[in-house]
Amino acid sequence: MIRGWLALATTALVTLSVSGPARAATVVEQAPTVAELPVILAAAHAPGARAVLINVWATWCDPCREEMPDVIRFYRDHRASGLRLILVSADDEQDREQVARVLTTAGVPAGTPSFIKRGDDMKFINGLDRHWSGALPASFLFDGHGRKHRWWAGPVTYRALELAAAGLLATTVTPETKRGRRRP
């Protein structure tokens, strides 16, 4: 198995060198930091955000990769309103290059904090929410003071994010979102 990952990493490096320096620079910018939960939470709760979205995902998780475009689009649309996005991969530390490639392919904006989780899984899971089973993907929305506002076990949509964050961000609710709020 290690040989397979080594071959994959070697292929990725060759691909990066063939695709030119601009592509290689992008991957370096998206390289995640390996960290334990306190470091991740410190980045999430640093001053300056009106809302913080922590998205926990993995390269091997199909629903995680499927929801990523909505998460990234939501962040791009709302970061000027005070949204901070923290991406946390549940992959192993040795899969750092693969994580970086997925982040780059997904179009994660440069400078978006991204991490590979290190440490005890249960401490990590319980540290984010004791009701979370650890199933992926999972997203956690905090207000600017670090209080958890909402969380989702499973894929989250743009619309769900917009509805949940509307009260936290200085944004206007769209007509589409407003229609979604009506009860029959």
- The sign of the torsion formed by the CA atoms of 157, 163, 169, 174 equals positive
pLDDT tens, residue by residue, 27-66 = 445 689 999 999 999 999 999 999 999 999 999 999 999 9
For the chain, domain boundaries: 33-166
Q: What is the pLDDT of residue 106?
A: 94
Selecting from 3.40.30.10, 3.40.1190.20, 3.20.20.220, 3.30.300.30, what CATH number does the domain 33-166 have?
A: 3.40.30.10
pLDDT at 20: 37
**When comparing pLDDT for 14 and 180, which is higher?**
180
Global confidence as pTM = 0.77
pLDDT of the residue at 31: 82
The residue written with tokens 């791009």 in the block is 76
**Which residues, other chains included, contact 97 with Cβ-Cβ below 8 Å and sequence gap of 6+?**
9, 12, 13, 27, 31
Mean pLDDT of 91-120: 95
Q: Is 70 exceeded by the pLDDT of residue 17? A: no
When mean pLDDT is compared across 19-23, 33-37, 103-107, the lowest value belongs to 19-23
Query: Higher-confidence residue: 3 or 35?
Result: 35
40-44, 164-168, 177-181: least confidently modelled range: 177-181
Question: Rounded mean pLDDT of the chain?
Answer: 82
CA distances from 89 to 26, 50, 58, 77, 127 (A): 18, 23, 5, 22, 15
- Residue for token digits 């994010």? 161
The Cα–Cα gap between 18 and 137 comes to: 33
Q: CB-based contacts of 148: which residues, under 8 Å, 6+ apart? A: 129, 140, 141, 142
What is the average pLDDT across 86-111? 95
Measured CA to CA, the distance from residue 180 to residue 164 in angstroms comes to: 12
∠61-133-102 over CA atoms, to 5°? 20
